[in-house]
Amino acid sequence: MTYSSLQHGLLNLPGSTPQSKTELLRLLRLDYEQYHCVFNTAGMHNHLSHHLLAAYDLGAPTPLLTSIFEKEAALQRPADLGEVGFDLTGAPQVGEVNEGNWTKWLGDERAYPAYVNFFADIVRQQGISGAVDEYLFGKSANEKGVSMLLRFMGGLMHPIIHLGFGIEFAEPMMVTAGLAQCAVGTDSLLPGVDPIDPKFNTSPSNGRLPLLGVLRDIYDSSVLTPIMPYDADYEYPQRFRDLLADGQRQREMERIVDSWHIDVNNIDRNVEEAILVTTLIVFGTGKSGRLPRLDFFTNHFLTSAIFFPSILNALPNASQKIILLKTWFFYLGLWLVDRGRPRIDSTLLMSYSAFPKPPLRQVVHADASAVGAPNSDEDTNPWPIMLGCVIHAPDAHTIKTFRALYWASQQYGTRTAGSFHGVFDNRSGSESHRGISKVDGTLFVRAAGILMDMMGWVTYGEKAGKWDRSGLGWDAAWEVDDITNREKWRALEYEDLRWQFEGKEATEGDARARL
């Protein structure tokens, strides 16, 4: 399979050139051909192509794309795990997987190259939509033990992100690798946790609540309680095993999520709901008077939701759209409970500045001929300033989150207070969440400002920040002071893994050698 074209991304910001497009395609091909979809035995996912495409969509220049590749590639394992000492006994050879036996090696990460080869043929023959229709939503693809839709949600929603990029940019290799990632991934929330296959009403009359109402019911449920007492060192997947041990929480979550009304004739409103709710969860679950904490896990709620405009448009029938959205929020809800069921605080999020700015050491004074007051925060558009900095952020999650917020601001930035769907409960008439009726379209720029403040204005001399893993829903997590908490989680950051995999050290020099 070869690259033939590249569709514009959701943003398609100025900055792309013939040279940057050519370099992007070359680097994407190298990732596709050389690297595995996870870079260690803990199952951490390869973000290389995500980082490249997000940066390209934001207008990153050619040398920056090359630098991103060198940095991310140094973390990766080769696609052929035999090269790093894996025993490949029982694993399929490239060319061995076919339509008659493709389910045989599901969940086996050693089979990744063989699945890439198989799905490349499928995408070539059936096209992107045809491959997604049959191998994610088809009946045989979702028989017990196959469960491709569940695998699509597994791995903290990374398959959604990878395949979503492929659909958004109409890039067959990304779709191929995304399907292969589903195939070798888990059909459950995490490895070691039993699969959960929720069933939802897919009729046009499905559900009756807006998504904010569904979130309200998740918060109010006496069944969906987090594991107590709080333990900051609770290891995965044990907490999920305990969380789901008796089956009550998953049944309750299934019941509540099925009440979300998906209107396939107005699916854009459901996308808006998903973006709004995930933004609130990521950026509005802190504590007043404390430094914001941005949860690493819930961050993936937002960076997966951004792909719904593209994925939903590729699905041929209404029931698939309903199943996708409800299954996604079902899994999201269980992850939310695992994080301590953090409550959104709309007032807190709206208290953050709508005019974020970097830490300037020297103020440049505008000429007297300038119209307006360029040195006033209120007279400045903060998005270009943030954009010029965030494309240099070292962490792929940061730039993907910024891209989602930028797009959300484009789409919903002019929403007035009280106009978002579901701010008033359609059962009681009161606010679905305290202060939610005061939220307007500026929440996205406020959130972007907090992202920059917490993850670092790196081009202005600030050190890159870190994602939080403390579990924001537990009050006990906040008993640790902000500085101590931030330093505790620093060592577990994606970028701090020292490029270690399977006993072999890689360096950025090794990555350059592959260019």
pLDDT tens-digit series, residues 389-420: 999 999 999 999 999 999 999 999 999 999 99
Instruction: Specify if 380 maps to a domain.
Output: no
Q: Where are the alpha helices (DSSP H) in 137-157?
A: 148-153
pLDDT at 413: 98
Residue with more model confidence, 102 or 368: 102
Using only the alpha carbons of the chain, give its radius of gyration. Answer: 22
Average pLDDT, integer, range 243-264: 95
Residue 500 DSSP class: E
167 found inside a domain: yes
Q: Please check whether residue 285 is in contact with residue 343, taking contact to mean a CB–CB distance below 8 angstroms.
A: yes
pLDDT confidence bin for 501, thresholds 50/70/90: very low
- Domain membership of residue 129 (yes or no) is yes
| Residue 497, domain member (yes or no) | no
Structure token pair of residue 261 = 């009304």
The rounded distance, in Å, linking the Cα atoms of 394 and 125 is: 38
Mean of the pLDDT values across residues 299-308? 99
The model scores a pTM over 0.85: yes
Contact 448, 409 (CB under 8 A): yes
Quick: pLDDT tens for 19-36. Answer: 999 999 999 999 999 999
Q: What is the mean pLDDT of residues 310-329?
A: 96
In a domain, residue 173? The reply is: yes
- The Cα-based distances of 232 to 191, 236, 243, 445, 477 in angstroms read 20, 11, 15, 31, 7
Tally of residues, the chain: 515
User: d(Cα 309, Cα 332) in Å, to the nearest integer?
Assistant: 18
Residue 119 placed within a domain: yes
At position 397, the amino acid (one-letter code) is H
Angle, to 10 degrees, between the axis of helix 112-136 and the axis of helix 172-184?
100
Quick check: 499 pLDDT over 60?
no
Q: Is there a domain that residue 242 lies in? A: no
Q: How many domains does the chain have?
A: 1
Domain enclosing residue 69, as ranges? 18-184
Q: Is residue 163 part of a domain?
A: yes
pLDDT 10s digits, 186-222: 988 766 677 888 999 989 888 899 999 999 999 999 9
Which residues, other chains included, contact 255 with Cβ-Cβ below 8 Å and sequence gap of 6+? none
In order, the DSSP letters of 189-228 are SSTTS---------STT---B-HHHHHHHHHH-SSSPPPS
The closest of 329, 302, 309 to 269, measured between CA atoms, is: 309
